[in-house]
Chain A
Amino acid sequence: METIFDIYLLEALCNGLLLGGLFALLSLGLNLVFGVMDVVWICYAELIMVGMYAIWWLHTAQGVPVFLACLIGIAFVALLGATMHQFIIRPVLQAEPINQLLVTGGVLFFLQAGATVVFGIEFRNLGVQLSSLNVGEMSFSISRLLSFAVAAAAIVAISLFLRKTFIGTAIRAISQDRAIMPLMGVNPARIYLTASALGGGLAGLGAALLVLQYDVHPAIGLSFGPLIFLICVLGGLGNLIGGFLAAFVFAQFISVGGFFFQLEWGYVFAFIFFIAVMFWKPQGLLAKRA
């Protein structure tokens, strides 16, 4: 009896780890955008939802192979991110920060309700079943392992991009000092646009990984959107490594908390933990004490 209990706990821990990888990827794009532009895309989860619908539609209605559909989906969401920045966020970039939050909130309603109008409220399924991997008495779904691997690879790729390329360096520089960059011969508008496209692309990648595991429906953004924000804030908005760490902490709360109690309680613990950390370290987990 004791040993079985431990095995299942271990399974919950491992699943938490896999979930953490997915969360880390999902929060990466939001964090990047915030770090560069100081704007919170509150509709970030809705961009992911749009990506999921795009991939689902391409695959089931148009018969595009899954892999290709995912690529097109990622490109589409990247384009969406850049468009949104250009036409919606740029006009309010100089306004109060809360206005930027609100304007993307309008986009949230628009995308969510738009998806309801176009696709209805039914749950849509990609129809791709990946089997599960059994290790001893534990079982893990292949799609989760795959998403963990892709998330890890994407995170490595992004950090390489930020360190090795000119644009990446410019992005890092601009997130450190917004005023000085124009003097250094970098056009901030272009950097912002690039970062938005990149943030959108990461949302698209998240969509590709999510659509393999979960059904799509218009409210799916609301179900994990708050989680992504809280992870970013927990790690310190704009702090990529902090967000990474926070993703795993959050995922463990949900996975292990859900193991001992019901799933909602895992979330409740995670959110209460978030509020407690905010009071303990308002600038995020990795912040030096202010």
Chain B
Amino acid sequence: MTSISTSASFDGPSRALQRNLALVCAAIIFCVPFIQPGQYIIHLLIMCLMWSYIYTSWSIMGRLGLVSFGHGAFLGVGAYTGVLLWNYLGVSPWLGALAAVVVTALLAVLIGYPCFRLKIVGHYFALVTLALSEVVRLIIIGLRDYTGGSLGMTPRTALAQGQEIALGAMQFADKRIWLYLVLVCWLLALYVWHRVDRSMARLALQAISEQEEAAASIGINVRAVKLGLMVLSAAMTCLGGVLYAQYQLYVNPENLSGIGVSLQMVFGVVAGGMFVMLGPTMGAVFLLLLSEGLRLLIGNDLHGVDLAIYGALLVIFIIFMPKGILGTLLHRYDAHAQKRRAKVNAPAEASAAPATLSVLESRP
């Protein structure tokens, strides 16, 4: 079932549609601050983009069957490395982010290399990464003398009274700067997603996610590709952690490396659509709007209703809509476009190649 959805995602006119959609969204978001909406709207947009960025980073490896249940580990390492270096050594978070990426990449190799070498996949890979995120969370709590344990910690403030921007400290009182920063990150993540999708490894990736032996037999270094993607995904997630820490100015092991966060990442992507570029974004937006909408609707008293509905929806999605919201929509769009094109081309190519081939050839 999923093999069909994977192949559908690699081709078809919906790719161009998604690219245009992303650019239009970016343009709209770019203009939003000029109409001066409230702080709340800007905050919502920032959170949407930040989580979209993180979910997209996750899906770079997730859609290849490397379903990680432990990306909270990378999020936590990123956030805490940045904040600890800033608070204790005065290292600018920009440099801290670099350090965090190095640490994360090492961690990803440490876990990924043996996993891929020993062909730990599926359930086992998911649970090994789950253990990793627990290790990170518990180490953060265990080092409570430095990290504040479960109570969390705040980055030392660098903004003097009335000051708006502390560039070196990556602290901005003006939310618009944050909006543009996360917008750029989100676009970059989409670009990386697109590049990975487009790279020479495109068909190789598909082969890997469906049949590893087959991929290996046509000369693909399966391990190296997997490891590369895992390091990429982890490093991007870790930068998400740095951004989160600097924006919220508060980090907490539960909010960053808890199992809830790691699972939510997986489920958000699944709900949006794992195999399409904007799927993770869709999942993040959907999730955020759901929780914010319900909060506005029923107030703060009924804590947990949003997550309960979310859980129920997930079950329904996976049973009835395994491609996710956007995945299903785009699949329909592709099928429709294909039918239309077949109708247009049919008279001219009546004697030519079969329909599937004609679609491939007529692509720009």
Interface residues of A (CB under 8 A from B): 40, 88, 91-92, 94-99, 101-103, 105-117, 120-121, 218, 222, 225-226, 229-230, 233, 237, 261-262, 264-265, 267-268, 271-272, 274-275, 278-279, 282
Contact = CB atoms under 8 A, between A and B. Distances in A.
Contacts of B114: 278-279
A274 B111 CA distance: 12
B127 A95 contact: no
A111 B138 contact: no
Contacts of A112: 304, 307, 311
Interface in B1-37: 1-2
B102 interface: no
Residues of B contacting A: mostly: helix
Interface stretch (B116-124, B163-171, B193-201, B331-339): B116-124
A103 B111 CA distance: 26
B95 interface: no
Contacts of A230: 127, 130-131
A289 to B, nearest CB: 11
Interface centre among A40, A108, A278 (most CB of B within 10 A): A278
B140 to A, nearest CB: 9
B310 interface: yes
Contacts of A225: 259
Given A101-B126, A103-B315, A265-B138, 7 more contacts: A102-B314, A106-B267, A106-B312, A106-B314, A109-B311, A113-B306, A279-B114
B315 A279 contact: no
A272 B135 contact: yes
A95 B118 contact: no
Given A92-B318, A222-B258, A267 B138 contact: yes
B321 to A, nearest CB: 11
A116 B307 CA distance: 10
A59 B119 CA distance: 49
15 contacts: A98-B123, A101-B67, A103-B319, A105-B314, A106-B312, A109-B263, A109-B314, A110-B312, A112-B311, A113-B311, A114-B308, A237-B123, A268-B142, A271-B138, A272-B135
B249 interface: no
A107 B308 CA distance: 9
A123 to B, nearest CB: 15
A222 B131 CA distance: 13
Contacts of B132: 271, 275
B289 to A, nearest CB: 17
A121 B111 CA distance: 35
Contact of B1 (A96, A116, A120): A96
B121 to A, nearest CB: 10
B208 interface: no
B310 A109 contact: yes
